[in-house]
Amino acid sequence: MILVTGGAGFIGSNFVLDWLAVGDEPIVNLDLLTYAGNLENLSSIDDDPRHTFVRGDIGDSKLVAELLHKYTPRAVINFAAESHVDRSIHSPEDFIQTNVVGTFHFLESVRAYWSALDDQSKSGFRFLHVSTDEVYGTLGDKDPAFTETTPYAPNSPYSASKAASDHLVRAYHHTYGLPVLTTNCSNNYGPYHFPEKLIPLCLLNAMAGKPLPIYGDGQQVRDWLFVKDHCSAIRSVLSDGRVGETYNVGGWNEKANLDVVNTLCEILDKLKPRADGVSYKAQITFVKDRPGHDRRYAIDATKIERELGWKPQETFETGIAKTVAWYLENQPWVSNVVSGEYRQWLNKQYS
Ligand code: NAD
Ligand code: DAU
């Protein structure tokens, strides 16, 4: 079996659902259930004996050691993190605690478990660390896309904390021989995306008749990947990735934020037109920019495509259409997610 962390969050829960849909290997899911973790994402596998959920912290060495000895996973995949850049600007400490200190303790627990395995299990074991393209910093309009050899230059407390965790993972391979793999992925979107992030926030605000907040001039560029394509990339790296290597994951879909929100509005105008017949674009509102806002991210995914034969299945157009349809069809999930804590965040960030 495998152990995943953060499997109740956006990408982790999509990964758990897909893992069980494409194979039969059991999965243990360790998640602290912070504001971003939501067991409702996993309600369709409530009765599936192949999935075991454990609430807990990756930094809780005693708990992690117990889980590793009880379930003897052949691999661990570390999704758990604080993931929202704006929150890292308001409260960086949580990001250092989970992404840096938590990952360190988790690596120590896994190293102790792995060291005691027999030689065959030891060489077959994998520690896959899920990271982000934000560790590479920001690009100018004409710069080539990030490759695996682009120097790290993180600009936000979030990306600095992820960069630190990537360096720790790398060091555990070079120093102790732990068989690690790291993926650095671009912006994901799709089902179960928490509505603090641009795409789900704008979808929910559009339907609620609220402003669609665009930071600064809206010309910042992100490289969008449908979440299920990220999950398939992680499965490819886990099964065929070369130990100690990093793999950039992206969908060759660079878009300016304003274009993304305009596209969302156009899809909604067709699927759920406003009662007054006016386009949702009328709700677009330019607001104060994010401090230190990175201008452009772009992923060169040549290495994973060439070495592992991975390719995204969705274009931005097909993926975003599926995403809008999912949010329209899953209104109960949406209403439950919009909790008291989340409303407080909106007041703090946008008032
Ligand atoms: P998310 O915020 O939706 O989910 C994070 C999950 O981790 C939550 O379920 C939360 O409860 C859990 N968690 C937080 N702290 C924990 C701890 N100390 N112990 C155990 N569980 C804890 O994040 P996401 O968007 O699903 O991102 C998952 C991973 O992928 C992160 O490492 C993130 O940096 C990385 N990533 C995200 C994107 C993206 O666009 N969302 C892109 C590239 C990489
Ligand atoms: O690049 C990968 C990263 O993508 C992941 O590592 C992060 O975990 C994930 O949150 C995401 O980070 P971003 O900061 O790019 O995502 P976010 O959805 O917060 O913002 C996307 C872009 O939209 C960014 O340029 C900021 C802008 N934005 C965001 C919000 C929430 C707005 O213009 N208005 C908003 O209200």
In a domain, 201, yes or no: no
Average pLDDT in the chain: 97
How far lies 263's CA from each of 14, 67, 219, 226, 281, in Å? 24, 44, 14, 15, 9
Answer whether residue 286 is part of any domain: no
Q: What is the pLDDT of residue 346?
A: 86
Ligand nearest to the CA of 166: 1
Residue from 89, 198, 350 to probe ligand 2 pocket by mutation (most atoms less than 8 Å from CB): 198
114 belongs to a structural domain: yes
pLDDT band at residue 114 under the 50/70/90 scheme: very high
Q: 265 in a domain, yes or no?
A: no
Residue 252, by phi and psi: left (phi above 0), alpha (psi -120 to 50) or beta? Answer: left
What is the distance between the alpha carbons of residues 56 and 49, in angstroms, rounded to a whole number? 20
Q: Are 29 and 15 in contact (CB under 8 A)?
A: no
Taking the CA of residue 159 as reference, the ligand 2 atom at the shortest distance is 6
Question: What number does the ligand 2 atom closest to the CA of 131 have?
Answer: 6
Render pLDDT for 256-281 as a digit per residue (tens, 0 to 9): 999 999 999 999 999 999 999 999 99
> E-strand spans in the chain?
2-5, 27-31, 51-55, 75-78, 126-132, 180-185, 187-189, 212-215, 221-226, 246-249, 254-256, 284-287
- By alpha-carbon position, which residue is closest to atom 28 of ligand 2? 198
Examine residue 177 and state whether it is found in any structural domain, yes or no. yes
Cβ neighbours for 208, distance < 8 A, ≥ 6 positions apart = none
Domain that holds residue 149: 2-186+227-250+294-313
CB-based pocket (< 6 A), ligand 2: 83-85, 132-134, 186-187, 197-198, 201, 213-215, 220, 222, 257, 290, 297
CA distance 195 to 209: 15
Domain-located, residue 332: no
* 8-state DSSP, 152: P
pTM, two decimal places: 0.98
How many domains would you assign to the chain? 1
pLDDT at 339: 81
Adjacent-strand bridge partners of 54? 30
Whether 43 is covered by a domain: the verdict is yes
Query: Which of 52-56, 135-139, 250-254, 347-351 has the least mean pLDDT?
Result: 347-351
In a domain, 138, yes or no: yes
- Mutate which of 3, 10, 341 for ligand 1? The one with the most ligand atoms within 8 Å of its CB, which is 10
Read off the pLDDT of residues 34-78 as tens digits, 9 standing for 90 and up: 999 999 999 999 999 999 999 999 999 999 999 999 999 999 999
Give the burial class of 93: count Cβ atoms within 10 A of its Cβ; 0-12 exposed, 13-18 middle, 19 or more buried: exposed
Query: What CATH number did the domain enclosing 168 receive?
Result: 3.40.50.720
